[in-house]
Structure 1
Amino acid sequence: MSIPFELPTEDRASSPYTGYTRAHWEAVADGLLWAAWRWGTPGCALLDLPGRPSRSGVRSDGLEGFARTFLAAAFRVAGAGGEDPHDWLGRYARGLASGTRTPGRDDAESWPLILDHDVQGQPMVESASVALGLRLTAPWLWKNLDSAVQDRVEEWLRGALRHVPAPNNWYLFPYTVAGFLESVGWGDAETGAARERALELMEGWYRGGGWYADGDGRAFDHYNGWALHLYPVLDAHLGGDTAALARYGGRLRAHLDGFGSMFGADGAPLHYGRSLTYRFAASSAVGLGALTGHTPLAPGASRRLVSGSLRYFMDRGALSDEGLLSLGWFGPHGATLQPYSGPASPYWASKAFVSLLAPADHVLWTATEERAPVEEADRVLALTAPGLLVQSTREDGIVRLHNHGSDHVRPHEGESAAEDDPHYGRQAYSTRTGPTAGENAADNHLSVEVGGRGSVRRRIHPLGAGQGEGWGWAASWHRPVFTGGAPMVPGLRVESVTVARGPYELRVHRVLGAPPGARLTHTGWATGPEEPLVSALHGLHGWLPGTETVRAPQGTAFVPWAELPRLSGEAGGTSVHVCVAVLAGEPVNVSPAEAVTAVEAGDGGVEVVWAADAARTRISFDPVTVTHAQGAAGPDA
């Protein structure tokens, strides 16, 4: 699809995979800003972008437009050493003056005050982008503001320090505000307390291996990169705090050791978790790692990932004809959104422009692009802290994520709420498919049906994960929650294990405590009927013969209409169910029906023999353990 502004000529010598250079990044930033500023108010304090309003209201949405585009402009200007050929900072300086005036009859542009998250929360989110933008551009913007404007900006920002954030990454917003105020000499006990509080909470959220939970629950998603790593690492980098940079930068390095493998060969990030309309913000952690040196990735591989992600969306209709980022994935897509999504929400994609803080002579831009991890070899990577299993195949460039540890249920919330959360509750996600909408048949889902009501997967309890040479596994259990307000069945429990090997996924479920007459359905990947993708399920044990095809008329973020394979079976007491699933793209030629030559299954475990090499995988229950032996050569893990 065409991009509604001009880009430089591709450079296939230095960027053989994407053609993008640093000049392309600057051009995209400028193009996004030009398009967004067409909707600026006369005093420049609000950008009232067209589209459905968020639940926070039009004034808050306008502030969001100002703040999030300011972040892009700040990275753009700071990365150029203060050069501002389009006078972006002049617009934002005028907006700061207008937005912080005391609301009154003749002032239609004043910003809403920052209050508690459950009263008027969105301004607190935007305060972080305003503060970070000011910190990045302080020599050229803040230091030239009138002192009265500085005082008003400070007073508005301090609302973030004096009110209660949401119990998750929101605590990093007052942290970022405090960091800016301290950087310009306006720190005090209030700023120090906000920073100490955030860092203390993060210690409780850190689960190891570079992964933070987004709050006290088990939500592991893209917020790890574009929030939980971004703010503390960038703060330490900008402040020259070597001790903090070593601590938080080391965690970023560990995170990127796995996260770097989560981008497809086409540049796509995994379609998983909430706020996916932020799109190429998913690459911000990669750019930050390259900027600070806290990354296991070579500079050329880092640029391959960040530029690949940016181009992926630029080439696939993320921009409207007017050059605005739409509310969706490629183009507009309502099921991708959350209730807090407003017209300017997608501009948190601006975080990806942290890469521009690396100057033109930085190795991120001077090194030749290298292959992304997915392009190097088939990979299976077990991430034990979040309970995730990453599986990728080099030939078709697809990355798959098997979820056995991440949900979006807070510890204080009841487990019996029956809402289907497509962005967290499905068993698998990928870079080529999206989850089906909640009103359609759920993809990658095991449903226990009792009394005609199906179940959803809410709270996920990890049971372990591991890997060997060319294979890996992850396991979890959950209590099925039934739709329509039906009560939970006492004692009913589902234990699930995924074993990934090559393009195949061995999926094993043990259902315990099922009442007589219970039925099961299990679905695979949702794809469009005309896509060059194979999505298939083959039952090995515990399923009725045959696989049916189920329609999902609302489609996914990738296709307007989708279909998915489904198996059916019966359960009662304790039962074990085994199948092989496949998602593959051209030129991969796979058949799940031919993947396994033998299977033995019982209440105590499952053993399968793989057709390709007679290797054996053994899954034992009580407790869950998985071993794999290469033919007659003995176990390799």
Structure 2
Amino acid sequence: MNQILYDKKDYQELLLEMLEPLRKWFSEGKARIRLSGTGAGYSGNIIEMETFARPLWGLVPFWAGGGRSEGWEQIYHQGIASGTDPQHPEYWGQCGDYDQRFVEMAPIAAGILMAPEILWDPFSAEEKDRICTWISQINDHELPKCNWYYFRILVNLALKNRGMPYSQERLESDLAYMDACYLGDGWYVDGVSDQKDYYCPFAMEYYSQIYAAFAQAEDSDRCRRLKKRAAEFQREFILWFDWEGAALPYGRSLTYRMAQAAFWPASLLSGAGNCDVGEIKGIVNRNIRYWLSKNIFERDGILNVGYAYGNLTMAERYNSPGSPYWSMKIFLILALSDHHPYWSAQEKPFPRQKRLSRLLYAEMLIQQGEQGAFAYVPAVYNKNVLGHFVEKYGKFVYSTKFAFSVAHSCENLVEAAPDSMLAFVLEGEQQVYVRRRSIRYGVETDHIWSEWSPVRGISVRTEIWPVPEGHIRRHKIISDKSAAVFDCGFAVAMYEDGYQTESGNGESFAEVRNHLQRCRVTAQCGGMEPYFIQAEPNTNLLYPNTCIPAVWGRIEAGITTLETFVEI
């Protein structure tokens, strides 16, 4: 695929190349895309509708910015007409409360709003009525209290702009709720959840900037406020990227991949912020190239579920075969006019950042440097009902250089793959216990601390101090039982050139390295020995086979203090 991204034509060609493999999987009426593969927490019919809708996140801006591809226009015209016709065999159906189809109404609404000459004007009056009737179902049902409210906002804004019946009451109340989710410095919390993750940039901020771009005439004060928030957010969110284009693997929905950078096109669309256009182009382009260098496509060119390779272990219950096409959000850049400065701007290197930054409302420290971006977090997140939240939010440190690992089980260290964790194995057991949530925590300007309990009878206070070469961990453990304890570093790829392990017992350390990565874990106190965990395959997000360096020792009932230096 073309990775030289300069003018609009380059981005248009890349979009169409990524979508081309989907063509042969459309149903006869074009209202569904039928990919083989895994299931999700909703029916196969809804999965097929989802897979139909998600490419629109790329095609709608393509059309809005003047792009044309007759075949895709015909497909989506026919598909929307079929899917919204109750008499058609491929009708998308009646929705219920909390229905996944509400998510997929958003790109259709965005098309009506942003590209009416393709997704509105060509339909007959009767077809338009059926489309409006189908998407208006979102006004009659309950939604989760989270970014889903923006789906209803987009639907009502689109209906309003086309002069069709809509709910002003829903529009106002939903916008008020989104305002209530705002924290500061551009950060939103995703409704009733506690974690701060990509649902701020690729959902809350993303949709708010579309709203700000298209509701300016009737809601100018709010739009001005939304753009100001995006400008503030730019200053902090840039820290989630590294010099090579990778963004932090942190939190849920990571299979959406290059949607990580979709906020930047959204901020350009609304005209928010003061970031240099060349710097934004560099961030966007490097992130796209980063993903195109990974094994993210199946043999037939369809995006797979996973991160740097196909990996169902890390998936959430809402990840269907079509879900990864949320990544098309990055192509919002195509909605920019042909004369926008972005298209002639030179791609600039990643701007130099402070070594250590405290993100107050995101509740994390970010360390920037040649080794990448590292996020120090306190293990604060909502109920774990979607898949592997302990691993996605509970590690000590998250890194663009190493990514994190998800457990196959907690039955032993190999399957638990407890990278960037302090792991306990009780006397006479094999079960692995790690930090799940913090009981109390603090994010200071130069370190982070948390108090947590891996299992009944053991409590831990952990302090983590970033230093230029890595970080120092200090643990105070109060236990009423004996246990083996393993302080684990980052997972390092095994089958890369230069792979090697090294250990020492005088200075107790374990090191794993290859030509891409290096992690050394050194005990700063006595009684600890080196240890290597060859993790179960397909636990790490970046590499299928990894080895985790660690130091370990035995603790008895009482108080134990450990100090470890994790060097990169």
Amino acid at match of 1:579: T
CA deviation profile, 1:53-101 (whole Å, cap 9, x unmatched): 3231221111111111122111111012xx4133423221111110012
Structure 2 residue aligned with 1:199: 175
Question: Is it true that 1:575 corresponds to 2:560 in the alignment?
Answer: yes
Conserved? CA contact 2:308–2:543, under 8 Å: no
Conserved? CA contact 2:447–2:464, under 8 Å: yes
Seen in structure 2, the aligned counterparts of structure 1 residues 419 and 30 have a Cα distance that, compared at 3 Å, is closer
Structure 1 residue aligned with 2:53: 67
Conserved? CA contact 2:489–2:520, under 8 Å: yes
- Distance in 1 (CA, whole Å) between partners of 2:545 and 2:7 is 36
Conserved? CA contact 1:71–1:351, under 8 Å: yes
- Distance in 1 (CA, whole Å) between partners of 2:152 and 2:15 is 26
- Distance in 2 (CA, whole Å) between partners of 1:571 and 1:257 is 47
CA deviation profile, 1:233-285 (whole Å, cap 9, x unmatched): 21121122432222122222222211112112221111111111111001011
Structure 2 residue aligned with 1:401: 375
Question: Is it true that 1:129 corresponds to 2:107 in the alignment?
Answer: yes
Range with bigger deviation, 92-101 or 201-210: 201-210
Cα distance, 1:377 vs. partner? 5.3
Seen in structure 2, the aligned counterparts of structure 1 residues 192 and 493 have a Cα distance that, compared at 3 Å, is farther
Cα distance, 1:420 vs. partner? 6.3
- Distance in 1 (CA, whole Å) between partners of 2:440 and 2:235 is 21
Structure 1 residue aligned with 2:452: 478
Structure 1 residue aligned with 2:391: 422
Cα distance, 1:42 vs. partner? 1.6
How do 1:588-599 residues align onto structure 2 when only pairs under 5 Å count? none
- Distance in 2 (CA, whole Å) between partners of 1:571 and 1:196 is 59
Structure 2 residue aligned with 1:164: 142
SS at match of 1:113: coil
Question: Is it true that 1:55 corresponds to 2:41 in the alignment?
Answer: yes
Conserved? CA contact 2:188–2:196, under 8 Å: yes
Structure 2 residue aligned with 1:605: none
SS at match of 2:529: coil
Q: TM-score, normalised by structure 2?
A: 0.88
Conserved? CA contact 2:6–2:343, under 8 Å: no
Conserved? CA contact 1:418–1:456, under 8 Å: no
Conserved? CA contact 2:378–2:394, under 8 Å: no
Seen in structure 2, the aligned counterparts of structure 1 residues 339 and 294 have a Cα distance that, compared at 3 Å, is same
Cα distance, 1:30 vs. partner? 1.1
CA deviation profile, 1:118-154 (whole Å, cap 9, x unmatched): xxx2111111121112211113331221111111111
Conserved? CA contact 1:520–1:571, under 8 Å: no
Structure 1 residue aligned with 2:187: 211
Question: Is it true that 1:521 corresponds to 2:506 in the alignment?
Answer: no
CA deviation profile, 1:601-627 (whole Å, cap 9, x unmatched): xxxxxxxxxxxxxxxxxxxxxxxxxxx
Cα distance, 1:450 vs. partner? 4.3
SS at match of 1:214: coil
Cα distance, 1:462 vs. partner? 6.0
Conserved? CA contact 2:269–2:333, under 8 Å: yes
CA deviation profile, 1:348-395 (whole Å, cap 9, x unmatched): 01111111122232122222111113xx3562111122221111213x
Conserved? CA contact 2:241–2:373, under 8 Å: yes
How do 1:186-265 residues align onto structure 2 when only pairs under 5 Å count? 186-188=164-166, 191-240=167-216, 241-265=219-243
1:554 to 533, 537, 540: 537
CA deviation profile, 1:137-173 (whole Å, cap 9, x unmatched): 1133312211111111111111212111123222222
What are the ranges of 5 or more consecutive residues in structure 1 without an aligned counterpart?
11-18, 483-487, 584-637
Q: TM-score, normalised by structure 1?
A: 0.79
Structure 1 residue aligned with 2:28: 42
Cα distance, 1:405 vs. partner? 5.1
1:110 to 74, 78, 91: 91
- Distance in 1 (CA, whole Å) between partners of 2:556 and 2:174 is 47
Identical amino acids, percent of aligned pairs: 24
- Distance in 1 (CA, whole Å) between partners of 2:13 and 2:130 is 33
CA deviation profile, 1:439-497 (whole Å, cap 9, x unmatched): 22211112344453432333335633343xxxx322233333x4xxxxx34xx533222
How do 1:286-297 residues align onto structure 2 when only pairs under 5 Å count? 286-297=264-275
1:336 to 314, 318, 334: 314
SS at match of 2:118: coil
SS at match of 1:508: strand
Amino acid at match of 1:251: R
Give the CA RMSD over aligned residues: 2.4
Amino acid at match of 2:81: A
- Distance in 1 (CA, whole Å) between partners of 2:64 and 2:58 is 10
CA deviation profile, 1:570-591 (whole Å, cap 9, x unmatched): 26444332211123xxxxxxxx
- Distance in 2 (CA, whole Å) between partners of 1:574 and 1:79 is 64
What are the ranges of 5 or more consecutive residues in structure 2 without an aligned counterpart?
409-414, 497-513
May I ask how many residue pairs the two structures share in their alignment? Answer: 536
Conserved? CA contact 1:360–1:366, under 8 Å: no
Seen in structure 2, the aligned counterparts of structure 1 residues 510 and 296 have a Cα distance that, compared at 3 Å, is farther
- Distance in 1 (CA, whole Å) between partners of 2:14 and 2:327 is 12
Seen in structure 2, the aligned counterparts of structure 1 residues 493 and 162 have a Cα distance that, compared at 3 Å, is farther
Cα distance, 1:500 vs. partner? 1.4
Seen in structure 2, the aligned counterparts of structure 1 residues 297 and 419 have a Cα distance that, compared at 3 Å, is closer
- Distance in 2 (CA, whole Å) between partners of 1:418 and 1:348 is 19
